[in-house]
Amino acid sequence: MIHAFGTASTGRLVRTAILVGALVLGAAPLLPGQVAVAAEPAVTSLRLGALFPQSGDLAFGAADALQGVQIAVELFNETNEHGITVELFTADAPNPAGGAGGVRQLVTTNRAQVVMGTYASAIASAAAPAAERLGIPYIETTAFAEGITRNTGNVIRTTISSGALGAAAMDFVLTGLAERLGVAEADMRVALVYTDDEFGVSIADAALERLDASPAALVLQESYPAATTRDLSSVLLRIRQTEPHAVVHVAQVPDATLLWRQAQQLDVYLPAVVGAGGGYGQAQFAAALGANVNGIFNVVPPTSGSINTEALAPRAQELLGELRERVDARGWTQGNYTDWAFMGAWVFLDEILPRAASLSVDDLMAAAAEVQVDALDSITGFGFEFTPAGEPNSGQNQRAIPVVQQWQEGTLSVVYPEALAVSEFIDVPLPTWSERTERIAD
Amino acid sequence: MQLTLQILANGLLLGGLYALLAVGLTLIFGVLRVVNFAHAEFMMLGMFGVYWVWRMTGLDPYLAVLVVTPLILLVGIVCDRLIIQRTIGAPEVTVVFATLGLSIFLQNAALMLWTADIRSVTTPYSAMVLTPFGLRVSVPMLISFAVAMLAAAGLWLFLSRTLYGKAVQAVAQNREAAALMGINVRRVYLWTFSVAVAAAGTMGGLIAPLFTVYPRVGMSYIVTVFVIVVLGGLGSVPGAVLAALLIGLIEAAAGFLFGAAWAELSYFLIFLAVLIARPQGFFGRRGAEVFAGR
DSSP codes of every residue in B18-72: HHHHHHHHHHHHHHH----TTHHHHHHHHHHHHHHHHHHH---HHHHHHHHHHHH
Average pLDDT, chain A: 88
- Tell me which residue in A227, A235, A284 faces B219 most closely, judged by beta carbons: A227
- Tell me which residue in A224, A231, A254 faces B14 most closely, judged by beta carbons: A231
Q: Which of A377, A399, A429 is the last residue of a domain?
A: A377
Q: Are B108 and A55 an interchain contact pair (Cβ–Cβ within 8 Å)?
A: yes
pLDDT of residue B234: 85
Domain count, chain A: 2
pLDDT of residue A24: 47
Asked if residue A4 is part of any domain, the answer here is no
Boundaries of domain holding A178: 163-300+409-441
Question: Between chain A and chain B, how many beta carbons pairs sit less than 8 Å apart?
Answer: 118
| Gap from A417 CA to chain B (nearest CA, Å) | 31
Q: What are phi and psi of B215, to 5 degrees?
A: -60, -30
Q: Which of A356, A377, A398 is the last residue of a domain?
A: A377
Asked if residue A401 is part of any domain, the answer here is no
CA atoms of A145 and B173, how far apart (whole Å)? 54
pLDDT of residue B220: 86
Do A364 and A261 fall within a single domain? no
Do A156 and A170 fall within a single domain? no
B62 Cβ contact list (under 8 Å, min separation 6):
B143, B205, B206
- Tell me which residue in A224, A258, A290 faces B122 most closely, judged by beta carbons: A290
Q: Are B118 and A237 an interchain contact pair (Cβ–Cβ within 8 Å)?
A: no
Do A280 and A177 fall within a single domain? yes
- Tell me which residue in A196, A228, A265 faces B127 most closely, judged by beta carbons: A265
Q: Residues of A with CB below 8 A from B129's CB?
A: 265, 267
Which pLDDT band holds residue B294 (cuts at 50, 70, 90)? very low
Which pLDDT band holds residue B29 (cuts at 50, 70, 90)? confident
* CATH number of the domain residue A243 falls in: 3.40.50.2300
Do A72 and A207 fall within a single domain? no
Do A332 and A294 fall within a single domain? no
For the segment B174-194, what is each residue's pLDDT rounded down to a tens digit?
Answer: 888 999 989 999 999 999 999
Do A109 and A129 fall within a single domain? yes
Which pLDDT band holds residue B12 (cuts at 50, 70, 90)? very high
pTM of the model: 0.83
What mean pLDDT is predicted for residues B205-222?
A: 91
pLDDT of residue A1: 36
Asked whether the predicted pLDDT for residue A299 surpasses 80, the reply is yes
For the segment A300-353, what is each residue's pLDDT rounded down to a tens digit?
Answer: 888 898 888 888 999 999 999 999 999 999 999 898 899 999 999 999 999 999
Residue of B6, B113, B120, B129 to mutate, interface with A, max A Cβ within 10 Å: B120
Asked if residue A27 is part of any domain, the answer here is yes
Residue of A52, A57, A240 to mutate, interface with B, max B Cβ within 10 Å: A57
Do A39 and A147 fall within a single domain? yes
pLDDT of residue A152: 86
Do A202 and A233 fall within a single domain? yes
pLDDT of residue A21: 53
- Tell me which residue in B10, B115, B215 faces A233 most closely, judged by beta carbons: B10
Q: Which of A355, A377, A399 is the last residue of a domain?
A: A377
Asked if residue A394 is part of any domain, the answer here is no
Q: Residues of B with CB below 8 A from A265's CB?
A: 127, 129, 136, 138, 141
What mean pLDDT is predicted for residues A97-119?
A: 95
Asked if residue A419 is part of any domain, the answer here is yes
Do A329 and A221 fall within a single domain? no
Nearest CA in chain A to B250: A234
Give the three-state DSSP class for B247. Answer: helix
Percent of chain B with pLDDT over 70: 97
Range in B54-58, B88-92, B120-124, B253-257 with the lowest mean pLDDT: B88-92
Contact at 8 Å (CB) between B26 and B236? Answer: yes
Asked if residue A426 is part of any domain, the answer here is yes
ipTM summary value = 0.89
pLDDT of residue A3: 42
Identify which has the larger pLDDT, A60 or A390. Answer: A390
Asked if residue A382 is part of any domain, the answer here is no
Do A211 and A278 fall within a single domain? yes
Using a 10 angstrom Cβ sphere, with 0-12 exposed, 13-18 middle and 19 or more buried, the burial of residue A184 is: exposed
Do A273 and A193 fall within a single domain? yes
| Secondary structure, 3-state, chain A | CCCCCCCCCCHHHHHHHHHHHHHHHCCCCCCCCCCCCCCCCCCCEEEEEEEECCCCCCHHHHHHHHHHHHHHHHHHHHHCCCCCEEEEEEEECCCHHHHHHHHHHHHHHCCCCEEEECCCHHHHHHHHHHHHHCCCCEEECCCCCCHHHHCCCCEEECCCCHHHHHHHHHHHHHHHHHHHHCCCHHHCEEEEEEECCHHHHHHHHHHHHHHHCCCCEEEEEEEECCCCCCCCHHHHHHHHHHCCCEEEEECCHHHHHHHHHHHHHHCCCCCCEEEECHHHHCHHHHHHHHHHHCCCEEEECCCHHHCCHHHCCHHHHHHHHHHHHHHHHCCCCCCHHHHHHHHHHHHHHHHHHHHCCCCCHHHHHHHHHHCCECHHHCCCCCCECECCCCCCCCCEECCCCCEEEEEECCEEEEEECHHHCCCCCCCCCCCCHHHHHHHHHC
Do A225 and A249 fall within a single domain? yes
Residue of B5, B107, B118, B251 to mutate, interface with A, max A Cβ within 10 Å: B118
Percent of chain B with pLDDT over 90: 62
Q: Are B118 and A227 an interchain contact pair (Cβ–Cβ within 8 Å)?
A: no
Asked if residue A398 is part of any domain, the answer here is no
